């Protein structure tokens, strides 16, 4: 019988974290199950930082549906299976701390841990599950690149923010006859870029899945100029790269081994400069950055997050562990965490950035690609 559960939010934050937390807490309370929050992701599991969550008068989970961020924090540097520590000699070492975390789970009597996160978080979740911990994952990321689900929570809000930015860039671009470039996030997937380009009426979208030819992008802008349109709006995914070239990297982080430590960014500026030189039009870049992750979730994300939270708790009550809640054919479902992050490449449109990862990227037969091409959005190929 399920008595006590805990929620862990991990990785870069998204709008919708709190909506999932609220839905889990409410469903748990309706079934007489106690709910705790693990503070600051996997770090809190190691440091035994747990906080009771409730929707009772003055409870922590009250009034959080529209709130951005995460009331229980999140962490982007906490792979407990390869955890960075400074030893007594002041040297950096990487240690497997998973057994300490498992002991903490046992000591506090948690019957199930809900892991809200993207591919890195779910990989650790799968590894904990393999070691016998009852885990249920919920797919979070603005990048929408978690395998086996059609949509992650946080993504729709990010697209909406990018769409609004494009609307605003349109009017200033048109006024000053400029090329307006918008660099959006998304890591190695172009979901945010392509969907916001369609929603925001952009002329060009450069995505990681299609290496671009800058000359072709310039030709598209020149053709628009010939038709009297002396401004253009270009969306560039942070992971986009030129044909035969490589991704633009801002630097690397030192967030422990086993997580993606590449800090992407800068391609928008590069593209803007090249287009200015090639077309003779003035170009300006805007990097949207963390605007895509902060603030209140859209109605879509509030509903999706609530559905995911309720489903996660339902699965726990059924004692169905080692799974991720997903949307499959538009409906709530669950799949084994092994399929999501394992080496199982039989599951469709997946190929990760590392041999081990299963990222969901855009495939060329996706409706978004066809739609974009048919309305004349150039994809740089
Ligand atoms: O994965 C979410 C995301 O926002 C990516 O789109 C982006 O590349 C990355 O996180 C930024 O990470 P950080 O918060 O470490 O700067």
DSSP code of residue 290: G
Distance CA 147, CA 93 (A): 31
Tell me the β-bridge partners of 7. 37, 114
| CA-closest residue to ligand 1 atom 10 | 12
The torsion angles phi and psi of 25, rounded to 5 degrees, stand at -60, -45
**Could you tell me which residues come within 8 angstroms of residue 6 by beta carbon, excluding any fewer than 6 positions away?**
35, 36, 37, 38, 50, 105, 108, 110, 112, 113, 114
Q: Could you tell me if 50 and 6 are in contact, meaning their C-beta atoms sit under 8 angstroms apart?
A: yes
**What is the number of residues in the chain?**
381
Tell the residue number behind the tokens 């039009």, with chain if given: 281
Cβ of residue 143 lying under 6 Å from some atom of ligand 1: yes
Cβ of residue 185 lying under 6 Å from some atom of ligand 1: yes
pTM for the complete prediction? 0.95
> Could you tell me the distance, in angstroms and rounded to a whole number, from the CA of residue 12 to the centre of ligand 1?
6
- The 10 Å Cβ neighbour count of residue 341 is 28
Which of 126, 51, 44, 43 minimizes the C-alpha distance to 78? 43
Q: Which residue ranges of the chain lie beneath pLDDT 50? A: 345-354
**Which atom, in ligand 1's list, is nearest to the CA of 76?**
15
For residue 141, what are its two tokens? 């990321």
> Could you tell me the distance, in angstroms and rounded to a whole number, from the CA of residue 76 to the centre of ligand 1?
9
Helix H segments across 227-266? Answer: none
- Local structure of 152: helix, strand or coil: coil
Tell the residue number behind the tokens 């299609």, with chain if given: 210
Cβ of residue 141 lying under 6 Å from some atom of ligand 1: yes
For residue 116, what are its two tokens? 């809200």
Which residues are marked as active site? Answer: 143
**Could you tell me which residues come within 8 angstroms of residue 299 by beta carbon, excluding any fewer than 6 positions away?**
none
Q: Which of 11, 122, 143, 196 to mutate to test the pocket of ligand 1 (most atoms within 8 A of CB)?
A: 143
What pLDDT is stored for residue 136 in this prediction?
98
Which of 39, 62, 63 minimizes the C-alpha distance to 51? 39
Q: How many angstroms from the chain centroid is the CA of residue 179?
A: 28
- The 10 Å Cβ neighbour count of residue 150 is 15
Cβ of residue 264 lying under 6 Å from some atom of ligand 1: yes
pLDDT in tens, 244-301: 999 999 998 776 676 778 899 999 999 999 999 999 999 999 999 999 999 999 999 9
Cβ of residue 76 lying under 6 Å from some atom of ligand 1: yes
**Could you tell me which residues come within 8 angstroms of residue 217 by beta carbon, excluding any fewer than 6 positions away?**
204, 206, 234, 271, 275, 378, 380
Cβ of residue 293 lying under 6 Å from some atom of ligand 1: yes
| CA-closest residue to ligand 1 atom 12 | 12
For residue 77, what are its two tokens? 């540097």
Q: Could you tell me if 218 and 225 are in contact, meaning their C-beta atoms sit under 8 angstroms apart?
A: no
**Which atom, in ligand 1's list, is nearest to the CA of 263?**
8
Q: Which of 9, 10, 11, 12 to mutate to test the pocket of ligand 1 (most atoms within 8 A of CB)?
A: 12
Helix H segments across the chain? Answer: 17-30, 42-47, 98-108, 119-130, 155-176, 191-199, 214-226, 267-279, 299-317, 337-341, 367-374
> Could you tell me the distance, in angstroms and rounded to a whole number, from the CA of residue 141 to the centre of ligand 1?
9
Which of 246, 51, 30, 13 minimizes the C-alpha distance to 140? 13
Cβ of residue 236 lying under 6 Å from some atom of ligand 1: no
**Which atom, in ligand 1's list, is nearest to the CA of 143?**
6
User: 24-40: b or e for each residue (b if 16 or more CB lie within 10 Å)?
Assistant: bbbbbbeeebbbbbbbb
Q: Which of 161, 187, 293 to mutate to test the pocket of ligand 1 (most atoms within 8 A of CB)?
A: 187
Distances (CA, A) of 155 to 13, 61, 186, 269: 11, 23, 9, 24
For residue 145, what are its two tokens? 């690149």
Cβ of residue 12 lying under 6 Å from some atom of ligand 1: yes
What pLDDT is stored for residue 359 in this prediction?
84
Cβ of residue 186 lying under 6 Å from some atom of ligand 1: yes
């Amino acid at each position: 019988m399920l008595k006590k559960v805990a929620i862990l939010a991990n990785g870069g934050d998204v709008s919708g974290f709190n909506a999932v937390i609220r839905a889990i807490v409410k469903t748990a309370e309706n079934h007489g199950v106690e709910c705790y929050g693990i503070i600051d992701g996997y770090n809190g599991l190691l440091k035994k930082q747990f906080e009771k969550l409730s929707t009772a008068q003055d409870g922590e989970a009250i009034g959080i549906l529209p709130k951005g961020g995460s009331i229980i924090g999140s962490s982007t540097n906490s792979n407990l299976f390869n955890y960075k520590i400074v030893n007594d000699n002041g040297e950096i070492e990487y240690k497997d701390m998973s057994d300490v975390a498992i002991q903490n789970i046992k000591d506090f009597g948690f019957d199930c841990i809900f892991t809200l996160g993207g591919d890195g978080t779910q990989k650790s979740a799968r590894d904990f599950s393999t070691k016998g911990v009852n885990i249920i994952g919920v797919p979070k990321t603005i990048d929408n690149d978690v395998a086996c689900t059609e949509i992650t929570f946080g993504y729709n809000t990010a697209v909406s923010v990018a769409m609004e930015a494009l609307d605003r860039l349109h009017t200033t671009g048109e006024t000053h006859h400029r090329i307006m470039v918008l660099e959006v996030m998304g890591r190695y997937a172009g979901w945010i870029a392509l969907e916001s380009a369609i929603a925001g009426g952009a002329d060009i979208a450069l995505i990681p899945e299609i290496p671009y030819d800058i000359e072709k992008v310039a030709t598209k802008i020149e053709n628009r100029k010939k038709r009297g349109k002396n401004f253009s709006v270009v969306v560039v995914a942070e992971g986009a790269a030129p044909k035969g070239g490589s991704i633009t990297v801002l630097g690397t982080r030192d967030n422990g081994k086993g997580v993606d430590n590449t800090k992407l960014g800068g391609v928008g500026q590069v593209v803007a400069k090249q287009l200015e030189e090639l077309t003779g039009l003035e170009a300006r870049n805007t990097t949207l950055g963390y605007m895509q992750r902060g603030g209140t979730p859209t109605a879509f994300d509030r509903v999706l997050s609530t559905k995911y939270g309720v489903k996660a708790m339902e699965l726990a009550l059924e004692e169905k562990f080692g799974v991720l809640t997903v949307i499959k054919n538009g409906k709530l479902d669950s799949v084994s965490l092994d399929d999501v992050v394992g080496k199982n490449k039989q599951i469709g449109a997946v190929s990760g950035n590392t041999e081990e990862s299963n990222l969901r990227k855009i495939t060329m037969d996706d409706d978004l690609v066809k739609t974009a091409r048919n309305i004349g959005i150039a994809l740089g190929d």
